[in-house]
Amino acid sequence: IRDCMRGRIYPKTGKVQLGGIKEYTEKLKNIDRIIIVACGTSWHAGLVGEYLIEEYARIPVEVEYASEFRYRNPIITEKDLVIAISQSGETADTMAAIELAKEKGATIFGVCNVVGASIPRVSHAGVYTHAGPEIGVASTKAFTAQVTALTLIAFYAAQQRGAITQSKLIEYLTELNEIPDLVERALLCNDHVKEIAAAIKDTNNCLFLGRGSSFPVALEGALKLKEISYIHAEGYPAAEMKHGPIALIDEEMPVVFIATKNSSYEKVVSNIQEVKARKGKVIAIVSEGDVDVKNMADYVIEIPQTNEAFVPLIATIPLQLLAYHIAVMRGCNVDQPRNLAKSVTV
Ligand code: F1P
């Protein structure tokens, strides 16, 4: 996160500098819509991007699986900006989605980790995430770096389009600047997460629920568990639970909630009560010092409190650790999960 932000945000003056997209500032000011295309974890980062860009820059955003988008006949115009997100920069579906959008006249920004990879080469402009090489197949630090890059794009667009006041921007950038320290504090939950992992490692299923900016975090928590522990896991918006997944809940079902003290806290608390009433096992990611959820949940993991927009950067960490410890306890190879490739180039 520090490397992604370095030299790009100036909290004291309220300035966001994104050299990679500077030449397209006029374009950014005039676009009608942003379409984000990506696959896997990068798609989840895209969903956080949607939340951030709509919230701060007030530009309508659509988030598309590149693997679907490329085979549709989507409506794209020169007034669209396509943001393609990819850790490797080589994902074939994302490349194909870019080619399609380019043919229709859209401007392409790449958000990529690998300098000089194919996706940055075919993009008009972009932001490198500088997360360093991902050692394992499953994306982890790339996710946090992608979300950071999208946060910077959201604030840059907001500033350029006059959608945010300078004092608000200074406030947000000051908070964003503190995120690397909060992430370090969040990592201290490791031993506690390991104990929780030991308690639930034999489950066959797991549900992850969150609202607002934490909904993509729920999806990402579920994907990490699937990818490296081979446990069937589903992520849902917590409000969707009553429309189906609630039927799955019994004493065998661990349900992981992202229940930090943000705008949807009260609603998430009532979702936790619904799960407890059906004897589900609740694991809740909460803000430090929360007592209400602590009294309800079977396990809580405390993380530092932050602005709702930045929660994904912190709340994802215990979920990555949970998937990691469960995978190790089940004897899985966390770096080389079966059937998965680092970059899917076909
Ligand atoms: C997309 C992705 C990763 C996943 C795995 C397969 O890659 O789905 O999110 O962890 O490595 O590919 P990328 O386009 O972000 O490189």
Give 3-state DSSP helix, strand, coil % of the chain, rounded to 5.
Answer: 50, 20, 30
Q: Which of 83, 87, 94, 134 to mutate to test the pocket of ligand 1 (most atoms within 8 A of CB)?
A: 87
Q: Which of 42, 44, 135, 141 to mutate to test the pocket of ligand 1 (most atoms within 8 A of CB)?
A: 42
> Within this chain, do residues 67 and 190 fall inside the same structural domain, yes or no?
no
Alpha-carbon gap, residue 74 to 304, rounded angstroms: 41
> Is residue 172 over pLDDT 90?
yes
> Within this chain, do residues 198 and 289 fall inside the same structural domain, yes or no?
yes
Identify whether 194 is a catalytic site residue: no
Helix (H, G, I), strand (E, B) or coil at 9: strand
Distance 117 CA to ligand 1 centre (A): 14
User: Is 153 contained in some domain?
Assistant: yes
User: Is 175 contained in some domain?
Assistant: no
Over range 242-253, report the average pLDDT. Answer: 94
Distance 311 CA to ligand 1 centre (A): 22
287-339 residue pLDDT tens: 999 999 999 999 999 999 999 999 999 999 999 999 999 999 999 999 988 88
Out of 164, 199, 222, a domain closes at 164
138-159 residue pLDDT tens: 889 999 999 999 999 999 999 9
User: Is 338 contained in some domain?
Assistant: no
User: How does DSSP assign 98-116, residue by residue?
Assistant: HHHHHHTT-EEEEEESSTT
Distance 257 CA to ligand 1 centre (A): 24
Any ligand 1 atom below 6 A from CB of 342 = yes
User: Is 130 contained in some domain?
Assistant: yes
Ligand 1 nearest-atom number relative to CA 94: 14
> Within this chain, do residues 154 and 192 fall inside the same structural domain, yes or no?
no
> Within this chain, do residues 149 and 232 fall inside the same structural domain, yes or no?
no
> Within this chain, do residues 199 and 295 fall inside the same structural domain, yes or no?
yes
> Within this chain, do residues 150 and 97 fall inside the same structural domain, yes or no?
yes
Any ligand 1 atom below 6 A from CB of 92 = no
> Is residue 346 over pLDDT 90?
no
User: Is 345 contained in some domain?
Assistant: no
Any ligand 1 atom below 6 A from CB of 67 = no
Any ligand 1 atom below 6 A from CB of 46 = no
> Within this chain, do residues 312 and 267 fall inside the same structural domain, yes or no?
yes
Instruction: Supply the pLDDT for residue 341.
Output: 80
User: Is 204 contained in some domain?
Assistant: yes
Domain extent for 213: 185-329
> Within this chain, do residues 194 and 325 fall inside the same structural domain, yes or no?
yes
Over range 158-183, report the average pLDDT. Answer: 97
Q: How far is CA 334 from the centre of its chain?
A: 20
Any ligand 1 atom below 6 A from CB of 287 = no
Alpha-carbon gap, residue 179 to 54, rounded angstroms: 21
**Could you give the number of structural domains in the chain?**
2
User: Is 340 contained in some domain?
Assistant: no
Which of 8-22 are b and which e, b meaning 16 or more Cβ less than 10 Å from the residue's Cβ?
Answer: bbebeebbbebebbe
Q: What is the mean pLDDT of the chain?
A: 96
User: Is 170 contained in some domain?
Assistant: no
From the candidates 168, 267, 276, 342, give the one annotated as an active-site residue: 342
ipTM above 0.90, yes or no: yes
CATH of the domain at 125: 3.40.50.10490
Residue 270's CB is within 10 A of a number of other CB atoms, namely 9
Ligand 1 nearest-atom number relative to CA 137: 11
> Within this chain, do residues 11 and 146 fall inside the same structural domain, yes or no?
yes
Atom 3 of ligand 1: nearest residue by CA position: 40
Instruction: Supply the pLDDT for residue 68.
Output: 97
> Within this chain, do residues 57 and 86 fall inside the same structural domain, yes or no?
yes
- What is the enclosing helix (H) or strand (E) of 274? helix 265-277
> Within this chain, do residues 245 and 199 fall inside the same structural domain, yes or no?
yes
- 35: closest CA among 2, 79, 91? 79
Instruction: Supply the pLDDT for residue 57.
Output: 98
Distance 177 CA to ligand 1 centre (A): 27
Alpha-carbon gap, residue 207 to 238, rounded angstroms: 10
Distance 124 CA to ligand 1 centre (A): 22
> Within this chain, do residues 205 and 79 fall inside the same structural domain, yes or no?
no
Out of 109, 133, 164, a domain closes at 164
